[in-house]
């Protein structure tokens, strides 16, 4: 089994992800090779919560700027939407 800190890389803090928290859904940047089961076990182990289900999406990098005749590009990454069982929440990520 993989180390949970190598599967879940960082939380994604945005306006959309903040609004999703009222439905017990948290957004994380995860390892692109991780599957849903590995993500579920990693979140349960790291934050001591029960995960209801996991949805994933591969976010493609965007083209940015024009520097010396070459377009720059942001990196692609994998995003996981983790829904927790009702009554559970991740205290470390709740923004007051």
Q: pLDDT of 68-95, one tens digit each?
A: 778 888 999 999 999 999 999 998 887 6
Answer yes or no: pTM beyond 0.95.
no
Judged by phi (left if over 0) then psi (alpha if -120 to 50, else beta), residue 32 lies in alpha
Q: How many domains does the chain have?
A: 1
82: Cβ contacts below 8 Å, ≥ 6 apart: 25, 26, 27, 28, 39, 40, 43, 51, 54
Q: Convert the pLDDT of each residue in 17-26 to its tens digit.
A: 999 999 999 9
H helices present in the chain, as ranges = 4-7, 15-20, 36-47
CATH number of residue 47's parent domain: 3.30.70.330
Segments forming the whole domain that contains residue 79:
4-93
Q: Convert the pLDDT of each residue in 23-51 to its tens digit.
A: 999 999 999 999 999 999 999 999 999 99
Q: Could you tell me which of 35, 76, 32 has the C-alpha nearest to residue 54?
A: 35
96 has pLDDT over 60: no
What pLDDT was estimated at residue 15?
Answer: 94
């Amino acid at each position: 089994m993989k180390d949970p800190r190598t599967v879940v890389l960082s939380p994604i803090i945005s306006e959309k992800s903040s609004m999703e928290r009222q439905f017990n859904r948290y957004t994380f940047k995860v390892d692109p090779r991780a599957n849903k089961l590995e993500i579920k076990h990693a979140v349960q182990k790291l934050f001591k919560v029960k995960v209801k289900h996991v949805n994933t999406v591969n976010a493609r990098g965007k083209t940015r700027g024009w520097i010396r005749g070459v377009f720059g590009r942001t990196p692609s990454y994998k995003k996981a939407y983790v829904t927790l069982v009702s009554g559970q929440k991740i205290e470390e990520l709740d923004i007051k």
